[in-house]
Amino acid sequence: MTTTIQSLKSQNHLKRDREKKIVRALTFVFALLSVGTTAGIIYELLNETILFFREVSIIEFFTDTRWTPLFASKRFGVLPLVNGTLLVAAGAMLVAVPLGLLAAIFLSEYASERLRRILKPILEILAGIPTVVYGYFALLFITPILRDLFPETQIFNAASASIAMGFMILPLMASVSEDALSAVPRSLREAAYAMGATKFETATQVVLPAALSGVAAAFILAVSRAIGETMIVAIAAGQQPKLTLNPLQSVETMTAYIVQVSLGDTPHQSIAYKTIFAVGMLLFVMTLVMNIISYFVTKRFREKYE
């Protein structure tokens, strides 16, 4: 009897070892696949970007203020595209950050558990709406309102794209921030209440600073998402690359330009075709820098509680 039990235990142990080895091998393959895919993307972007800069001066690319690679008189200054991208992203963050933080504070500090279970999924439904729907919402709903308020507003403008994009990334900002606020130990709240702090003072002066690393990470992730958004800006912001800080004017972002060229009749391997890889590489570097900043901000301000 004892021998039989030991034999069964040995067989179960061997079976578990085999299962662990299979799982370890599968996870290694999937990790290797993701790394290989990223490496392939970087290789293609870098290869085409090098070919582009063999024909266009890198100094002109980063200093010229005109972007007309599809015109007869070609200019390759990427600054108007960068300006449009940052202008729309900044406007989106003006919408998403305050609303997202307020939503996160309400869900974490004020809402009951039952209400939180109802409201959070409803809020996150916004993240499931296709971005093309947001684009047409900006063009057909937000733009007419802006034109009524500000008659000088152009039909395609940065403001309507920013507002729509702000609502699109609001769930990301709110959800990540709420998770960070909820992770703050209950003892900090109780200590603040014991010292006579109100619920609002506790939320803004105790809980929010304690969750700063998570909130900062949510902000940077939301900025990265706004910079990389395509369909909203392609539909609502326009296709006029210009250096302007006026959100009521038409602008063109980096992603909108990539869509414009990719869907057109641009000859393969022409200089105009190669521009999409140079712009894509710059966009990749910008989002990579944002993610690196997010990592160091999270590491620098992370609070550890026992």
Per-residue pLDDT of the chain (306 residues; tens, 9 = 90+): 556 666 656 666 677 778 788 888 889 998 899 889 989 888 988 998 999 999 899 999 999 899 988 887 888 999 999 999 999 999 999 999 999 999 999 988 888 888 888 888 888 788 888 999 999 999 999 999 999 999 999 999 999 999 999 999 999 899 889 888 888 888 888 888 888 888 888 888 888 888 888 888 888 889 988 998 889 999 999 888 989 999 999 999 999 999 888 876 777 778 888 899 999 999 999 988 888 887 787 777 666 555
H-state helical runs in 106-157 = 113-124, 131-137, 143-149
Q: Are residues 136 and 46 part of one domain?
A: no
Q: Are residues 133 and 27 part of one domain?
A: no
Q: Are residues 186 and 42 part of one domain?
A: no
Give the Cα separation of 274 and 53 in Å (integer).
9
Q: Work out how many domains the chain is built from and give that number.
A: 2
Q: Are residues 255 and 199 part of one domain?
A: yes
Residues 12-46, buried b or exposed e (16+ Cβ, 10 A)?
Answer: eeeeeeeeeeeeeeeeeeeeeeeeeeeeeeeeebe
Closest CA to 188 of 212, 210, 163, 156: 210
Give the domain range for residue 120: 79-301
SS3 state at 158: helix
Give the Cα separation of 283 and 277 in Å (integer).
10
Residue at 159 is within a domain: yes
Q: Which residue has the tokens 């403001």?
A: 159
Residue at 154 is within a domain: yes
Residue at 71 is within a domain: no
Residue at 66 is within a domain: no
Closest CA to 227 of 286, 147, 275: 286
Half-sphere exposure in the Cβ direction for 203 (13 Å, CA): 17
Burial class, 130, CB count within 10 angstroms (exposed 0-12 / middle 13-18 / buried 19+): exposed
SS3 state at 35: helix
Q: Are residues 152 and 245 part of one domain?
A: yes
Q: Are residues 171 and 26 part of one domain?
A: no
pLDDT of residue 11: 67
Read off the pTM: 0.85
pLDDT of residue 18: 81
Residue at 59 is within a domain: no
Residues pairing with 76 in the sheet = 67
Residue at 63 is within a domain: no
The dihedral through the CA atoms of 285, 257, 276, 272 has a sign that is negative
Closest CA to 168 of 202, 207, 128: 128
Give the Cα separation of 173 and 194 in Å (integer).
31
In this structure, what token pair is assigned to residue 104? Answer: 């996160």
Half-sphere exposure in the Cβ direction for 210 (13 Å, CA): 21
Q: Are residues 102 and 42 part of one domain?
A: no
